[in-house]
Amino acid sequence: MAAVTLDVYVDAGCSGCAAARSFAAEIQSWFPRLVVAVRELGDERVEPPDWLVAVPAFALQGRLIQYGRPERGEISEAVQHALASAGEDALR
């Protein structure tokens, strides 16, 4: 089965990015089978997607969920759906 990935795009100069980093870690704790990757835009190895116009940005399976911090229910529902579609048990 393919991994389900949540990418969180952040930047050092971003006022809301520290909270986004913390929220990414929290999301990872809710869904152990989810791959959560915090993508630092200052890292030369990170190539931002074409759609990225602001940070923080949360993308699930390469598709933008939201700029800024999504609501817990919104992100939880999206992740559960993606994991179920991939044949994964969301909470294992």
Sequential pLDDT tens for the chain (92 residues): 568 999 999 999 999 999 999 999 999 999 999 999 999 998 999 999 999 999 999 999 999 999 998 999 999 999 999 999 888 665 55
Strands (E), the chain: 4-10, 34-40, 57-60, 63-67
pTM of the model: 0.90
- CA 51, 76, 23 angle in degrees (round to 5)? 70
Residue pair 86/78 in contact by the 8 Å Cβ criterion: no
What is the residue extent of each domain of the chain?
4-70
User: Can you give the pLDDT at residue 90?
Assistant: 55
Domain boundaries 4-70, corresponding CATH code: 3.40.30.10
Distance of alpha carbon 37 from alpha carbon 60, whole angstroms:
10
Round the CA-based radius of gyration of the chain to a whole number and report it.
13
Distance of alpha carbon 28 from alpha carbon 37, whole angstroms:
9
